[in-house]
Structure 1
Amino acid sequence: MEPIVTVQDAVTAFAPYMEPTDAELDAIEQEAPLIAAELELLDVQIALLDRPASALGQRKLRRATHKVLAERATLANRAATGEAA
């Protein structure tokens, strides 16, 4: 029978290098409004799954969709101009 050897040292040896870089964190921060808008849209879509779409529900869905599109446009324009947040 062979002993089971732990590989903890090999796994954690590179842990400091697995953290996100400052550039990656900045990119996430710039995309935060888009992520929030997408979550809002998802919440509205989930809420509309189990009930008939009323006028209010359709309005919420349109507003959330427009918010996502606006945030995507803002992010794309920022990337095209090379502008930071």
Structure 2
Amino acid sequence: MSPYLPDHDDGAAVAVLDDEREPSDAELTALEAEMPVILAGVELLDAEIMTLDREPCELDLRRLRRARRRLLNARRDLTNVHDELPSGGAA
């Protein structure tokens, strides 16, 4: 089903907003695969927010380094998983 329908006046396509539309299984699987990256990004953002109004102490610096490392590791793992998946299409 296309999310676009022709406009009745001039034939231009307009987006149809369907509040009842649920994510497909493929979309849910992709979101689930990206969840570690999302959570690591939130953790890094939290660590950065904590240091906005003051000079970071040693504990803050360690927290920032750890959050950056977790984000990089999560991105690496996601990239490696996508590289291992077989590509679709005819050979």
Q: TM-score, normalised by structure 1?
A: 0.76
The one of 45, 50, 63 equivalent to 1:47 is 50
Cα RMSD of the aligned pairs, angstroms, is: 1.8
Q: Flag the structure with higher helix content.
A: 1
Structure 1 runs of 4+ with >4 Å offset:
none
> Distance between the aligned counterparts of 2:31 and 2:59, measured in 1?
32
The one of 30, 37, 40 equivalent to 1:37 is 40
Number of residues paired by the alignment?
Answer: 71
Which string of whole-angstrom CA distances, capped at 9 and with x for unpartnered residues, describes residues 13-55 of structure 1? Answer: x444x32110000000111111111100000000010111111
Cα drift, residue 61 of structure 1: 0.2
Q: TM-score, normalised by structure 2?
A: 0.71
- 5+ residue gaps in structure 2? 1-15, 87-91
Q: Flag the structure with higher strand content.
A: 2
Between the two proteins, what is the percent identity of the paired residues?
A: 44
* Greater relative contact order (Cα < 8 A, sep 6+): 1
